[in-house]
């Protein structure tokens, strides 16, 4: 018996094949073109149309969508830490979690993972899950740990901490009891992890400044 196909993150948030969605700002958005692997009804309907018309099945991407080409080179983690800038000064590079390549991390003297490396490994596994490339009906922290390294898996607690940070910044949907990754949020897929991190940091800084000004006025 064949296993049921998974629904990708695109279809999961309504970005179906054959549609022409736009963001709130009017920017054309990418739709799901994983018609072979995704089990959403939108792909089945289009496949049926091609069958009836006896035409070759091709993916139907949003015709208005333009694939972004970044002129930037992904810096090493130590360069990022040494040259951290505020979002107002320089906008983070947008990295769609379903398309962005993994970052490169330098080996550490202790042999442990570099700062941010585990999060990027978790991101890669979750991206594969959303694309329907993994044989799991639900994605638990232990499954992610084994996908990262079967012989020396990271702790499920550390992966759970990554999930908590993602929920806090609005990057992913995480279920509890049991803890499991569900999908990336629409904002997460549109803007990427780095952007949402910077946004959360900026909003927290603005809130802290506003609270400090309020306390000074009361003093």
Q: What is the pLDDT of residue 123?
A: 93
Q: What is the pLDDT of residue 78?
A: 47
Q: What is the pLDDT of residue 85?
A: 45
Model confidence band, residue 73 (pLDDT cutoffs 50, 70, 90): low
Report how far residue 67's alpha carbon sits from residue 64's, in angstroms, rounded to the nearest whole number: 10
Model confidence band, residue 210 (pLDDT cutoffs 50, 70, 90): confident
pLDDT tens digits, 109-131 = 777 888 889 999 999 999 989 88
pLDDT of 24 higher than 80: yes
CB burial of residue 129 (10 Å; 0-12, 13-18, 19+): buried
Map the chain to HEC letters.
CCCCCECCHHHHCCCCCCCCCECCCCCECCCCCCCCCECCHHHHHHHHHHHHHCCCCCCCCCCCCCCCCCCCCCCCHHHHHHCCCCCCCCCCCCECCCCCCCCCCCCCCCCCCCCCHHHHHHHHHHHHHHCCCCCCCCECHHHHHHHHCCCCCCCHHHHHHHHHHHHHHCCEEEECCCCEEEEECHHHHHHEHHHHHHHHHHHHHHHHHHHHHHHHHHC
Q: Checking phi first, is residue 132 left (phi over 0); if not, alpha (psi -120 to 50) or beta? A: left
pLDDT of 81 higher than 50: no
Mean pLDDT throughout 15-43? Answer: 90
Report how far residue 148's alpha carbon sits from residue 211's, in angstroms, rounded to the nearest whole number: 42
Q: Which residues contact 168 (CB under 8 A, 6 or more apart)?
A: 200
Mean pLDDT throughout 51-75? Answer: 79
Write out the two tokens for 112.
Answer: 């442990």
Mean pLDDT throughout 64-92? Answer: 56
Q: What is the pLDDT of residue 74?
A: 53
Instruction: End-to-end CA distance of the chain: give it in Å, rounded.
Output: 71
Model confidence band, residue 43 (pLDDT cutoffs 50, 70, 90): very high
Percent of the chain with pLDDT over 90: 42
pLDDT of 71 higher than 70: no
Nearest to 196 by CA among 163, 172, 176: 172
Q: What is the pLDDT of residue 1?
A: 43
Q: What is the pLDDT of residue 97?
A: 77
pLDDT of 87 higher than 50: no
Mean pLDDT throughout 54-71? Answer: 83
Model confidence band, residue 94 (pLDDT cutoffs 50, 70, 90): low
Report how far residue 79's alpha carbon sits from residue 106's, in angstroms, rounded to the nearest whole number: 11
């Amino acid at each position: 018996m064949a296993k049921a196909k998974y629904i990708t993150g695109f279809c999961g948030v309504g970005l179906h094949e054959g549609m022409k969605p736009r963001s709130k700002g009017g920017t054309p958005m990418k739709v799901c073109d994983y018609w072979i692997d995704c089990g959403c009804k939108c792909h089945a309907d289009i496949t049926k149309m091609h069958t009836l018309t006896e035409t070759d099945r091709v993916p139907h991407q949003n015709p208005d969508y333009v694939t972004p080409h970044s002129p930037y080179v992904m810096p090493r983690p130590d360069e990022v830490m040494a040259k951290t800038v505020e979002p107002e000064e320089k906008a983070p590079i947008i990295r769609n979690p379903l398309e962005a390549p993994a970052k490169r991390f330098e080996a550490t003297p202790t042999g442990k993972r570099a700062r941010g490396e585990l999060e990027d490994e978790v991101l890669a596994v979750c991206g594969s899950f959303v694309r329907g490339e993994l044989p799991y009906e639900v994605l638990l922290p232990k499954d992610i740990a084994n996908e990262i390294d079967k012989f020396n898996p990271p702790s499920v607690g550390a992966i759970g901490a990554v999930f908590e940070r993602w929920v806090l910044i609005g990057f992913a949907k995480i279920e509890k009891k049991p803890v499991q990754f569900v999908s990336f949020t629409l904002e997460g897929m549109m803007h990427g992890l780095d952007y949402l991190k910077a946004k959360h940091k900026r909003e927290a800084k603005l809130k802290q400044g506003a609270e400090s000004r309020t306390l000074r006025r009361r003093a």
